[in-house]
Amino acid sequence: MLPDFPLIKQKWSKVFIKYIKDNVRRDSFLSQIKTARHFEGNRMSTQYSDGNIDRPSYERLSSALSIKEDDLIRMGPKAFIEGLNKIAKELREQQSKLVFEGMSELTKKTGNIVDAKGRPLSYELLIETLEKIEINFDENDQPIMPALVVSPLLYDKFKEKIIGWEKDPKCQEKFNKLIEKKRKEWHDRESNRKLVD
């Protein structure tokens, strides 16, 4: 019978878990989402600014580490790293899918949807979308613009168009009007917030 080393396994397990978590959080999309650690319970709740409360269940995300003996002999520790990277990739995909499903469900509930109805990508469509989004401001009263997530196919077109829109005075005027409206909404929200001990 081979000896077992539980303390060594426990230490390495912590190292592997930290590596995977750090790898998942490096994702450009997921890294922008605030997280909170829950230590007990099987449900959570979120209260939105309109007073509605959502009580979703936890979702299980999982992956498995499987390394062939031949790969371990041939690659050594690199086989573990590749396996951990594979796990992190699978967890990133699962988390991203959950986030998009949650956003889709929430926007349907609130009616906060902009349907392009086959219209081409335009500045008006962007402004219409930003109208539906709550925008916050920093301590210098500057807007904290939301991240816009687009498909890889749309990304290059969008990037190209934004460069043109930034130079167009009419687009800038529309944007500035939108920001002033959002700034007023934000100041109203901030002045109506309940102070918590």
For 107-165, write each residue's pLDDT tens digit.
888 778 887 788 888 899 999 989 988 899 999 999 999 888 888 888 888 888 889 99
Please check whether residues 23 and 92 belong to one and the same domain.
yes
Give residues with Cβ within 8 angstroms of 81, minimum separation 6.
Answer: none
Neighbour count for residue 24 (Cβ, 10 Å): 21
Show the domain range for 100.
13-27+53-113
Clarify whether residues 22 and 98 are in a common domain.
yes
Q: Are 55 and 44 in contact (CB under 8 A)?
A: yes
In this structure, the answer to whether residues 90 and 129 fall within a common structural domain is no
Q: What is the largest CA-CA distance in the chain?
A: 78
Q: Which of 113, 136, 162 delimits the end of a domain?
A: 113
Rounded to whole angstroms, the Cα distance separating 3 from 26 reads 37
Domain presence at residue 96:
yes
Per-residue pLDDT of 18-50, as tens digits, reads: 999 999 888 888 888 888 787 887 788 877 767
Within 8 A by CB and 6+ apart from 113, the residues are 107, 132
Residue 61 is assigned to a structural domain of this protein: yes
Tell whether 34 is covered by a domain.
no
